[in-house]
Amino acid sequence: MQLNPALETKKDIRSLTLDELKKVFVENGDQAFRAKQVYEWLWKKSATSFDLMTNLSKATRELLDKNFVINAVKVDDMQISSDRTIKNAFKLYDSNIVEGVLIPTPNRMTACISSQVGCSLTCKFCATGKLERLRNLNADEIYDQVVLIKNQAEEKYKTPLSNIVYMGMGEPLLNYKNVMDSIQKITSPEGLNMSPQRITVSTAGVSKMIMKLADDGAKFNLALSLHAANDKKRNYIMPINESNSLEALAEALKYFYEKTETRVTYEYIAFKDFNDSLEDAKELAAFCKHIPCKVNIIEYNPIDDGEFQQTTNERLDAFAKFLENKNIIVNVRRSRGKDIDAACGQLANKNKEGFVTRKMKVVK
C-alpha cells in the first residue's frame, strides 16, 4: 500500500466510501475484501482506533494509522438531570463543542443530536439561535453522537436506544448531505441497523429542502418547528419565515406527503400571551388541514433574555382541547432536563457553572 508519504495531514478514513476504500487497497497490492473489513469496523462496530481492528494484520493496521485518522467525537462534559436526562458536551476533532441529550422516558430512550456547530437561523426563543454557526458537522460526527448516547443508555439505564431526533444544535436541512449520509450509516445493515421510522428530522422550515427530501424518498419522520400559524407572528420569532412563508411551507409539505405518505409532526411552543390564545389555535387548526399531521405542543423553556414566558396550564389545556375538538392528534410535551439546560431550545454550550464554552461566539 504505497500511500503518499508527503501528505502533511492524514485523511479522515470515514470520509471514504466503501468503493473508495476498495480502490485504496487494490491499487496498493492488497485484497479488496480488506476494505469491507475496515468498513465494518468503522460503521457497524464503531471502532475509534485502528488498533481495535484485530482481524487485520499488524502491518495493515500500522499502515492505516500512518496514513489515515478516525476523528472520533469524545464526551467532554456530562451532566445528569434530576429526571435522569443526560446532557453531553461533545468535543470534535477541531476542539469545537456541540451538545447532545439522552432523554429517558418510561416508553423510550431518545437521543437528541446536533447537526451544526451553532446555528444561523436566530430564532428568538432559542438559546442555540444566539450562537454563531461555525460549521456543519460531518456525517461521522453526527453518527458518533448516536453511538455515544446509545452507549450511555445501555450502560447507565440498561435500556437500548429506541429513538433519534435531529433536534439539537443547528438546522439539519442546511446540512443536507451530511445529515442524509449519517442517517444512511445509522440505518444501514452495514451500520447501526436502526429503523428509519425511529428517526425524526426537525426543521425550522426550508421549503425547497423539504421537497428534496420527498424526491430523495426519505423514509424517516419529518417534524416542522411551526410555533405560529400566521406569517406576522412567525416572521417575528423565526426570521427564516420571511423567505419560507407558511404558504410556501404548505406547498412543500403537500408535496412531501404526496411522495412519502408520511404524516408530519408540527412542533408548537406555547408562549404566554403571544401564540397561546384560542384564535392562535384556530389558525393552527386551519394550517393542519393541508396534510395528515399531528401536533406536539411543547412547554416553553425560558432562556436568558426573558423576552418570552411560559404559558399557564389553563391556557395550554384550552389550546390543546380546541385542537382535539377539531379531530387533530395532539400531544402535550412536558420538558425534561431543564435543571441542566438540556431542554428544548436551551442548548447553548453552557457548562456546569452556566458559562458558554469553547470557541462558541454569541451573536449580539
Give the catalytic positions in this structure.
99, 344
Instruction: Tell me which residue of 281, 194, 210 sits closest to 250, measured CA to CA.
Output: 210
Spatial neighbors of 172 by CB under 8 A, at least 6 apart, are: 115, 166, 179, 201, 202, 203
Alpha-carbon separation of residue 276 from 205, 307, 312 (angstroms): 21, 15, 9
Pairing, β 264-270 against β 221-225: parallel
| Torsion angles phi and psi, residue 68, rounded to 5 | -130, 165
Residue linked to cell 446540512? 175
Alpha-carbon separation of residue 252 from 75, 257, 285, 339 (angstroms): 37, 9, 18, 37
Alpha-carbon separation of residue 80 from 156, 157, 309, 339 (angstroms): 11, 12, 25, 9
